Amino acid sequence: MSDINEIQRRIDKKISDALSAWMSNSKWLKLLTEIDGKAFGLKWKFINSEQIYTAQVPVLLEKTFGDCLPYPYGPYREIEWLLIPMEYSHPNSDEYRPLENKRNDLLFIRSVIDSLGQYPVELSDEGLKIIGYKWQ
């Protein structure tokens, strides 16, 4: 079995072991299309990695991301969660020119998400988290 097939088998097994699966490719696509350009500094967690990625909404295809970060050609169904942070780093800030953090308008973004239907959203001091899966 190839490494890619083995990785996919493990991902499929983990998904099947989830206590709850709330999101599908189509729900993620609908959500990501709507928040593109409205939410910044996004934090992504995928089920096959412990790493948290920071990236804007990338190129969106029908069932996968395009060939870009945070997850080239990854299916949306492999998003464990997506965090829209309360604050994010100014895009032009760097070590030589530190700029004040910017803030997402979480109430507006929440209203956009709520207008799409029922989405598993948690509000915390960090921001809005859209949950794909619940584990034991």
Looking at the 3D structure of the chain, how many domains does it have? 1
Strands (E), the chain: 20-21, 43-46, 52-54, 79-85, 87-88, 102-103, 121-123, 127-131, 133-134
What is the pTM (predicted TM-score) of this model? 0.89
Chain segment 53-99, per-residue pLDDT in tens: 999 999 999 999 999 888 898 899 999 999 999 999 998 999 999 99
> By the 8 A CB rule, do 42 and 84 touch?
yes
Enter the tokens of residue 32. 């990501």
Question: How many CB atoms neighbour CB 101 within 10 A?
Answer: 13
Domain that holds residue 114: 3-134
- Which DSSP symbol is given to 76? G
Among 59, 52, 11, smallest CA distance to 32 is for: 59
